[in-house]
Amino acid sequence: MLEGYPVTGVKVTIDGGSYHPIDSSEFAFRSAAKHAFEQAFNQAKPHILEPIMLVEVETPNDFLGRIQGNLSSRRGLLLGSETMQGYTVIRAEVPLVQMFGYSTDLRSLTSGMASFTMQFACLRQAVAVLVAPAKS
């Protein structure tokens, strides 16, 4: 496990090995396999992946700057926008974890005049985000 998350997408093949009636037991083989996996795992320099969502926000032009700023503050990567008849559609890739509560924030930012859709885009290596301690 890496930071408490399960390891996935790994195939292990054991080559060789021998059996001895005194030294060989199920526990010994399991212990050796675990030790070998941990060594290989640490040498592989594993990383955590996070789901990235493709987000499209349709908003009146008056709120364009607010929406772009809010998406950027959520670690969003702005991909582009398209303007049509007083509305703009903004496309961005945003980590899923940053999208919780977005519906409420979007309604607040636009007085309920914007809408959004979201779909899975890809998995990307997670970035450590430092959070400043709360001031007392």
Q: Are 105 and 66 in contact (CB under 8 A)?
A: no
Residues 82 and 99 in one domain: yes
Q: Looking at the domain assignment, is residue 107 inside a domain?
A: yes
pLDDT of residue 104: 95
Residues 58 and 90 in one domain: yes
pLDDT of residue 109: 95
pLDDT of residue 1: 55
* Domain span including residue 26: 1-46
What 3-state DSSP class applies to 79? strand
Tokens at 109, concatenated: 């930012």
Residue 131 has pLDDT above 60, yes or no: no
Q: What is the pLDDT of residues 116-128, one digit of tens each?
A: 999 999 999 887 6
Q: Looking at the domain assignment, is residue 91 inside a domain?
A: yes
Helix (H) or strand (E) holding 18: none
The letter for the amino acid at 3 is E
Q: Looking at the domain assignment, is residue 132 inside a domain?
A: no
pLDDT of residue 116: 97
Residues 79 and 104 in one domain: yes
Residues 35 and 100 in one domain: no
pLDDT of residue 2: 63
Residue 130 has pLDDT above 70, yes or no: no
Residue 129 has pLDDT above 70, yes or no: no
Residues 90 and 115 in one domain: yes
Q: Are 56 and 97 in contact (CB under 8 A)?
A: no
Q: Looking at the domain assignment, is residue 18 inside a domain?
A: yes
Residues 41 and 13 in one domain: yes
Residues 33 and 56 in one domain: no
Residues 61 and 97 in one domain: yes
Q: What is the pLDDT of residues 12-22, one digit of tens each?
A: 777 777 777 77
Q: What is the pLDDT of residues 48-79, one digit of tens each?
A: 889 999 999 999 999 999 999 999 999 999 99
Residues 119 and 56 in one domain: yes
The mean pLDDT value of the chain amounts to 87
R_g of the chain computed on alpha carbons: 24
pLDDT of residue 133: 61
pTM, two decimal places: 0.71
How many structural domains is the chain composed of? 2
Q: Looking at the domain assignment, is residue 98 inside a domain?
A: yes
